[in-house]
Amino acid sequence: MQSSLAWIPLFSLLLCDQAAPQLLDPSCSRTRAEDRIMYGDDASKSDAIYMAAIYNRTHFQCGGTLINRRYVLTAAHCLESRYVLFVHLGAHNRAEPTAWYDVSFGVQHISYNPINKQNDIGLIKLKRRVEYNGRIRPICIYLDKAIKSQVAMVKTFDAFGWGLNEHGQQSDILQTITLNQLNREECRWLGETLSSTQICAGVPGADTCRGDSGGPLSKKIEINKQTFVAQFGIISYGSLTCDSMAVYTDVTSFVDWIQETISRFDDPPEIPPNFQRVPTAPPSVVEKLWLYDDCGGDGENMSSIVQLTIYGPGFKAQGVLITDQFVITVARDLPENAASL
């Protein structure tokens, strides 16, 4: 991440008062109003609690964010390789993580386009549940779709990552930069026309850079007098020189996809050992389930009773008697004229 020195003020997006915030994980990151970064590029340790450093077996690959106890949000292009992945959490210094996790699998958005980076969003499922503590906690994903219409009103965002700095070196310490939201048309010179599911942001002489991909574009939002750190974007792509503007996936456009994907791959609830999965039905009910009432016999030497051999000209196959008139077998190689059998 390449940046210039700047004072980063606290600015909160005010939402309508609600009885309870609609958050993906209610335990997500909250902050105090006085938290801020002064005259520097290093992020505070409190900003690292929701950051995920994604590695393959040999090197650092991408950034991401912890969004609940089993899932990390990142860019789809970070999941293009088929390497085995690992995730470091609680890593203000990415070489000194609080915990690391094996990855079960990654999911790219089904409509992800690697050419123009449309729908550049993905999820990583961890093999075990994350234990929250003072150094590890999820970022807030706000589920109310009304927030989508307010994204354009946000003037600045905070971006985080361990990407290349102004010296062309990978940073060990988590870096941050405040970016101005720009009109999507201003990002057209990067080569692609942006859609409504993308955000254009940047500042002169500074930008996110290689290695920052998958990291968050975040903002502090205030709900019912509580301040939450909410994720609005995912670092997607920018210029080769990393010194002007870049494109970010708009997370608020994909909250349905995030919820549906988590639901589809989430673990089933644990069932107590003494739980009876199928209630015992009365015999009169069970009997009606069988195709043929007088089936099964006494259960002894069944193979010799129901297993049959089917013969025909140049043909021989095995079958099973299922009623007094029908035998079930495979269709492969059966002659067209059944009368020859």
Catalytic residue list: 77, 120, 213
Dist CA 51 CA 35 (whole Å):
17
Dist CA 233 CA 249 (whole Å):
5
Dist CA 114 CA 77 (whole Å):
7
Helix (H, G, I), strand (E, B) or coil at 304: helix
Burial class (CB in 10 A: 0-12, 13-18, 19+), 213: buried
Dist CA 179 CA 201 (whole Å):
6
15-28 b/e (C-beta count within 10 Å ≥ 16 → b): beeeeebbbbbeeb
Task: For residue 103, list its beta bridge partners.
Answer: 126
For residue 268, give the DSSP letter: P
Phi/psi at 151 (5° precision): -60, -40
DSSP string, 143-156: --GGGGGGGGG--E
Dist CA 88 CA 101 (whole Å):
6
Determine the Cα angle at 185 with ends 180 and 186, to 5°: 45
